[in-house]
Amino acid sequence: MSEDRTRGVALVTGASQGIGRAIAERLAREGWDLALVARRAEVLAEVIASLADSGVEAAAFPCDVADSSAVEETVHQVLERWGRIDALVNNAGISRDALLIRMKEEQWSQVLRTNLDGSYHFIRYVAPGMMKMRAGRIVNITSVIGQIGNAGQVNYAASKAGIIGLTLATARELAGRGITVNAVAPGFIETAMTQDLPESAVKELFERIPLRRLGQPEDVAALVSFLLSEDASYITGQVLNCDGGMVMG
Ligand code: NDP
């Protein structure tokens, strides 16, 4: 990590709301300078404004993670500003649910392009700088759905299972350069993504959570923060669940 007053520069995607915003808030409290990515510039600006008292530098980089050249340009801009990216958190994600036989090509490809390609794009363009520094932390947000599947979410499950494979292979490639790569698998977290689920589905999910509460974005942010810390320097190629015990073992 850098030797100045901050803990380094962290790039967080999907930082305009939900889990990504909670990660940004947590990392700001811990002294990370922040490059925040999402598509909606005006919402990112609100997040940046809310971090004004934290004493760290935070800047918005509006970008569609599915667009490879836009990601390349974004990483270039972040490096121009700070000269380094010490940590990358690939959190941006969407769901477009439908049963397999009713799912449209567009629903399939939108989810794969955002969730899986988006994570690949950022790793692709951030990794070279980390390799030169011989240090870095990458955390990819997957999901329990990528581990156990869910009816109506073949696109989402495939994208999140893909992120696990991406994490494991990248961890092996980059370990020799001192870069750790891990995935965090949240369970049911209360955000905009889950707020429209029918009450019956929430009740059923609740029954499957041994800790008997829904997760909060801050629960996930705490785990991400740990994985970015010095204390996690001997952990790589892992999928860590943050799910109240939904998936065990
Ligand atoms: P939200 O829908 O609340 O937030 C999604 C974020 O991703 C927003 O900031 C959105 O910003 C950004 N985003 C979406 N598409 C793009 C894109 N193409 N380019 C750039 N940014 C994009 O979701 P959550 O906070 O709930 O989810 C965050 C991550 O956690 C996702 O990867 C999700 O799959 C995962 N997850 C969530 C769970 C839950 O229960 N909530 C459970 C397991 C995993 P904008 O619209 O401005 O682009």
What pLDDT digit, counting tens, does each position of 177-199 carry? 999 999 999 999 999 999 988 88
pLDDT at 249: 83
For the CA of 192, the closest atom of ligand 1 is 3
User: Measuring from atom 31 of ligand 1, which residue has the nearest CA?
Assistant: 93
Tell how far the Cα of 127 is from the centroid of ligand 1, in angstroms: 22
pLDDT at 5: 52
Average pLDDT over residues 20-46: 98
pLDDT at 197: 84
Tell how far the Cα of 90 is from the centroid of ligand 1, in angstroms: 10
Average pLDDT over residues 138-153: 97
- Residue of 36, 65, 94, 188 best suited for mutating to test ligand 1, as the one with most atoms within 8 Å of CB: 94
**Distance of alpha carbon 139 from alpha carbon 148, whole angstroms:** 20
What are the backbone angles phi and psi of residue 89, rounded to the nearest 5°? -120, 105
Q: Output 198 or 95, whichever has higher pLDDT.
A: 95
Q: Is the pLDDT of residue 234 over 60?
A: yes
**pLDDT single digits (tens) 35-50:** 999 999 999 999 999 9
What are the backbone angles phi and psi of residue 85, rounded to the nearest 5°? -130, 115
Domain residue ranges in the chain:
8-239
Q: Is the pLDDT of residue 205 over 90?
A: no
Ligand 1 site residues, Cβ closer than 6 angstroms: 13-20, 38-40, 43, 64-66, 91-94, 114, 141, 143, 186, 188-189, 191-194
Q: Using the 8-state DSSP alphabet, how is residue 247 labeled?
A: S
Q: If you average pLDDT over every residue of the chain, what do you get?
A: 96
Question: Tokens 């997040």 map to which residue?
Answer: 47
pLDDT at 237: 99
Give me the helices (H) in the chain, please.
18-29, 41-50, 68-82, 105-111, 118-133, 145-148, 154-174, 199-207, 217-228
Tell how far the Cα of 91 is from the centroid of ligand 1, in angstroms: 6
Residue among 99, 84, 76, 190 nearest 137 (CA): 84
Average pLDDT over residues 210-239: 97
Question: Tokens 């490809």 map to which residue?
Answer: 109
pTM over 0.85: yes
Q: Around 98, how many Cα atoms within 13 Å sit in the side-chain half-sphere?
A: 13
- Lowest mean pLDDT: which of 4-13, 36-45, 82-91, 146-155? 4-13
Give the Cβ contact number of residue 242 at 10 Å. 20
Residue among 221, 212, 222, 214 nearest 195 (CA): 214
Q: Is the pLDDT of residue 121 over 90?
A: yes
Distance of CA 98 to the CA centre of its chain: 23
- Both ends of the chain: CA-CA distance in Å? 32
pLDDT at 3: 45
**Distance of alpha carbon 226 from alpha carbon 245, whole angstroms:** 19
CATH number 3.40.50.12780 given to 8-239? no
- Cα–Cα distances (Å) from 61 to 16, 22, 79, 82, 138, in that order, read 11, 17, 12, 13, 18
pLDDT-derived band at 160, boundaries 50, 70, 90: very high
Q: Using the 8-state DSSP alphabet, how is residue 51 labeled?
A: T
Q: Determine whether 156 is an active site residue.
A: yes
Q: Is the pLDDT of residue 1 over 90?
A: no
Q: Is the pLDDT of residue 4 over 70?
A: no
